[in-house]
Amino acid sequence: MPETIEALKMRYPTAETFKFGDNAALCEALLSLVRSGKKRATCGALRDYLDGDPMPVIGRRDIAMTWDDTPALVIETVELVHCRFDEVTEAMALLEGEDDSLAGWRAGHRGYFERNGGFSPDMDIVWERFLVVEVLS
């Protein structure tokens, strides 16, 4: 039986919950990349954190949810970089595990940001490297 969010919050009392991606298919694809060890980083638009999404914190353990709100993974943030979209390096992009080049990362993330509030090359992002603490589902 899967662990409840309540039980997880008792074990990880400072944890925030979040979902990778902006739709069910993307969420599952990104969770699969994390489970396989290929995806070890992610990023978000700074504007989303300023509008209320919980900001990642180094050392905090957070719970990644499936699209249907089932706890999937516990991750721990180990590095944060605040930068502009056009300052993301190839090494940073490759750690996200979604593409095999910086150009591919830029194209995919541009589309994501265009769907979710707008895109510009100089937009501020928060890039996060994490470790998997626990795979739940």
Q: How many domains does the chain have?
A: 1
Domain that holds residue 118: 5-135
Q: CA 75 from chain center: how many Å?
A: 10
- pLDDT tens sequence across 48-66: 999 888 999 999 999 999 9
Q: Could you give the residue ranges of the DSSP H alpha helices within the chain? A: 5-11, 24-36, 46-50, 90-95, 102-115
CA contacts within 13 A on the Cβ side of 14: 10
Q: Is the pTM of this model over 0.85?
A: yes
pLDDT of 118 higher than 90: yes
Tokens read off for 111: 């589309």
pLDDT of 127 higher than 70: yes
How far apart, in whole angstroms, are the C-alpha atoms of residue 44 and residue 136? 23
Tokens read off for 76: 């721990």
Contact between 10 and 61 under an 8 Å Cβ cutoff? The reply is no
Contact between 81 and 124 under an 8 Å Cβ cutoff? The reply is no
Query: Which pLDDT band holds residue 3 (cuts at 50, 70, 90)?
Result: confident
Give the pLDDT confidence score for residue 1 in this predicted structure: 60
Q: Check which CATH number belongs to the domain holding 17 and give it.
A: 3.10.400.10
* Sign, Cα dihedral of 79, 81, 82, 86: negative
